[in-house]
Structure 1
Amino acid sequence: MSGVPVYLPARYSANAVKRLGVELARDEVLSPDAQVLYEEFISDAQARVMAVQGQLESGRPLYAGVVPRSLSLEVAGRTKTRRTLSDKLRRTPGEKLPSIHDVAGVRLVAELTLLEQDLLSDMIVQSFANHPLATRKPKVIDRRKEPQHGYRALHIVVYLHGRPVEIQLRTTWQHSWAQLMELIGDRWGREPRYGFRVIHSDPLEAARRQKVVDLLQMISPLLQSLEEGTSLMGLIHLKPSAVVASRLGVSVPDLQRLAARIQVNDQEVETLTQQAQALFSELGELIGADPHVEGAYSGESEGRQ
């Protein structure tokens, strides 16, 4: 794998990481030994992020052979910051640090239908199932079927030398929604991300902000319906093949006939798309940010688990 950094297995045990998690949740200042372990733990996570990014970049030609629009895939990686880790461990005291599978994370975003997203996910899973550093089969978590507080995406957890990296694969619709919710967390507090109400000392301001959150929650099932209803429109961008036919559970001749019936210009779809785009712009103004400019993949932003 040219271009993929050399990755070395971590030199610490799961029990040591559990103890580190206890200290991260409990203390503002880590002990000298815990600080050394934390730095090694994060360095290890960053190495895995780089390895996964390298594998995804090298796989672009293969992915594009089945899903041509994956060439526009935006790839970004990050490790969680100490503050985010500490907050998570305090918020969910039953969860231990070794079980947090998005300490190392990579995010993929492209203009895809659900069909294209599924096909791309299949290829990524296969790619990492055969990865020379893989120690477990990749795990797919479908947050489209079971949204968490409105959040929808496909998560693929891959394991290198036994340690996880979470790949978040999002369509542009899923990403726009998630970015707005992340921006709300940055500006108004993280409570709405986990289903809690907005907290503010001014009741009127709290009500205004909650109305924005409620509207964003209302949009999520509408986007789900829009994406599910337009999933087969992805056939416009795909060449009929055995891979695509297998994914849909049809024969290649049936797939060809199905693709021939797809309407390129559907007025109802165009109208719904314009309405959704307008709602996102309006919400961005109410939050006070442009979700397409801000909300980059950083240690402060985590995928829902």
Structure 2
Amino acid sequence: MNSQEEELFLKKGPPFSKNRVTKLGSAWRDGVAEKAPEIDDFLTFNAVLTEELLRIGNDTINSIILPMSESGDAQVVPESSLYNLAGRVKRSESLLQKMRRMETTPILNVQDVAGIRLDYDMTLTQQTGLADTFSQAFKFAGAKRVDTKDYRQESHSGYRAVHLHIYSKAGRAEMQIRTALQSKWANLYEAATDVYGTDIKYLHEGAQIPPGATDQVQELHYLSDLVQQIEDLADVNGLQKNSELIRLQHKAYGILDRIHTRLRSFLREQSQLER
């Protein structure tokens, strides 16, 4: 191994005992013990891993020959050429819930404790190409392997995106790559979980729609199918997109945005009533 390889973060092991974190994580998941300080050390290291993934992501974006402009406070909407690259570490509560859903999976095998997300105004073909570009970039930066998970044709409870599962000596991580419409739908559905409960995110795993939410959830899934149809159509047309197709994309985004605004208003009203 040369000196350059030794400096690659993804080729370095974490500064904690994997066996101990695995053991303590299982005890925490099973309710045998409270969350140990070593679990916090694990999450802190994943924050550093996330920052490294963001660095690699930004470097990759700077090398791509595409019209890409940082969104800042603006929304990534169709026909904008805007992108947003962000990262996060899974919160303790969310990690515990996921480990319990996965039942026996060790804490170190939870793929998305460290995660970054790229939302970009792009076609499906461009999305596929970017996924390959980022996959190669992570492997060049020291990842052992990167697996592509395509959730566009076979959605997860309506959710559509391309995910990269990153495996490295430093740990596992995930990158989500979403188009403007996929991103807007996902944000809307996330807001819906605050109203109807988180089970609606796991219908593909056998969870049930909560009582009284069937019509609303079915509408959201219909909108997911509509997004897929519009994006398939846009991809077939490619560079020959006409004004009618562009109008259709913006109309779909507007529908998603209005429902999202309505949900946010409902949540604010509920919060005020509870005070």
TM-score bucket (shorter structure): 0.7 to 0.9
Change over 3 Å in CA distance of 1:149–1:21 after alignment to 2: same
1:148 offset after TM fit, Å? 0.8
1:271 offset after TM fit, Å? 4.6
Q: Give the Cα–Cα distance (whole angstroms) in 1 for the partners of residues 114 and 171 of structure 2.
A: 9
2:9–2:170 Cα contact (<8 Å) kept:
no
1:266 offset after TM fit, Å? 4.0
Q: Give the Cα–Cα distance (whole angstroms) in 2 for the partners of residues 140 and 197 of structure 1.
A: 28
2:99–2:110 Cα contact (<8 Å) kept:
no
Residues 102-141 of structure 1 aligned to structure 2 (within 5 Å) = 102-131=112-141, 133-134=142-143, 136-141=144-149
1:276 equivalent to 2:252? Answer yes
Change over 3 Å in CA distance of 1:289–1:102 after alignment to 2: farther
Cα-to-partner distance string for 1:26-75 (whole Å, 9 max, x where unaligned): 33962xxx522111111111111000101111222212x1x323763211
2:108–2:172 Cα contact (<8 Å) kept:
no
Q: TM-score, normalised by structure 1?
A: 0.72
Cα-to-partner distance string for 1:50-102 (whole Å, 9 max, x where unaligned): 00101111222212x1x323763211111111100111122221333222110
Residue 86 of structure 2 is matched in structure 1 by 76
Which amino acid counterpart does residue 220 of structure 2 have in structure 1? L
Q: Residue 36 of structure 2 aligns to a residue in which SS?
A: helix
Q: Give the Cα–Cα distance (whole angstroms) in 1 for the partners of residues 127 and 224 of structure 2.
A: 18
Residue 54 of structure 1 is matched in structure 2 by 55
Alignment partner for residue 228 of structure 2, among 219, 224, 231?
224
Residue 73 of structure 2 is matched in structure 1 by none
1:69–1:112 Cα contact (<8 Å) kept:
no
Which amino acid counterpart does residue 69 of structure 1 have in structure 2? M
Q: Give the Cα–Cα distance (whole angstroms) in 1 for the partners of residues 168 and 182 of structure 2.
A: 27
Residue 242 of structure 2 is matched in structure 1 by 265
Residue 14 of structure 2 is matched in structure 1 by 10
Which amino acid counterpart does residue 55 of structure 1 have in structure 2? I
1:115–1:232 Cα contact (<8 Å) kept:
no
2:184–2:253 Cα contact (<8 Å) kept:
no
Residues 1-305 of structure 1 aligned to structure 2 (within 5 Å) = 9-27=13-31, 30=34, 35-63=36-64, 65=65, 67-69=66-68, 72-131=82-141, 133-134=142-143, 136-195=144-203, 196-199=207-210, 206-207=211-212, 209-234=213-238, 236=239, 262=240, 264-267=241-244, 269-289=245-265
Q: Give the Cα–Cα distance (whole angstroms) in 2 for the partners of residues 276 and 88 of structure 1.
A: 32
Q: Give the Cα–Cα distance (whole angstroms) in 2 for the partners of residues 55 and 270 of structure 1.
A: 32
Q: Residue 168 of structure 1 aligns to a residue in which SS?
A: strand
Q: Give the Cα–Cα distance (whole angstroms) in 2 for the partners of residues 282 and 210 of structure 1.
A: 20
Which amino acid counterpart does residue 216 of structure 1 have in structure 2? L
Q: Residue 10 of structure 1 aligns to a residue in which SS?
A: coil
Which amino acid counterpart does residue 127 of structure 2 have in structure 1? Q
Q: Give the Cα–Cα distance (whole angstroms) in 2 for the partners of residues 28 and 216 of structure 1.
A: 39
Q: Give the Cα–Cα distance (whole angstroms) in 1 for the partners of residues 69 and 123 of structure 2.
A: 11
Q: Give the Cα–Cα distance (whole angstroms) in 1 for the partners of residues 96 and 161 of structure 2.
A: 25
Which amino acid counterpart does residue 14 of structure 2 have in structure 1? A
Q: Give the Cα–Cα distance (whole angstroms) in 1 for the partners of residues 168 and 26 of structure 2.
A: 24
Change over 3 Å in CA distance of 1:5–1:36 after alignment to 2: farther
2:14–2:170 Cα contact (<8 Å) kept:
no
Q: Give the Cα–Cα distance (whole angstroms) in 2 for the partners of residues 159 and 9 of structure 1.
A: 12
Change over 3 Å in CA distance of 1:5–1:57 after alignment to 2: farther
1:128–1:158 Cα contact (<8 Å) kept:
yes
1:157–1:164 Cα contact (<8 Å) kept:
yes
Q: Give the Cα–Cα distance (whole angstroms) in 2 for the partners of residues 289 and 282 of structure 1.
A: 11
Q: Give the Cα–Cα distance (whole angstroms) in 2 for the partners of residues 179 and 188 of structure 1.
A: 14
Change over 3 Å in CA distance of 1:110–1:93 after alignment to 2: same
Mark the runs of 5 or more structure 1 residues left unpaired by the alignment.
200-205, 237-261, 291-305
1:198 offset after TM fit, Å? 4.4
1:216 offset after TM fit, Å? 0.5
Change over 3 Å in CA distance of 1:188–1:57 after alignment to 2: same
Moved more, 188-197 or 18-27: 18-27
Give the total of aligned pairs: 246
Q: Give the Cα–Cα distance (whole angstroms) in 2 for the partners of residues 289 and 272 of structure 1.
A: 26
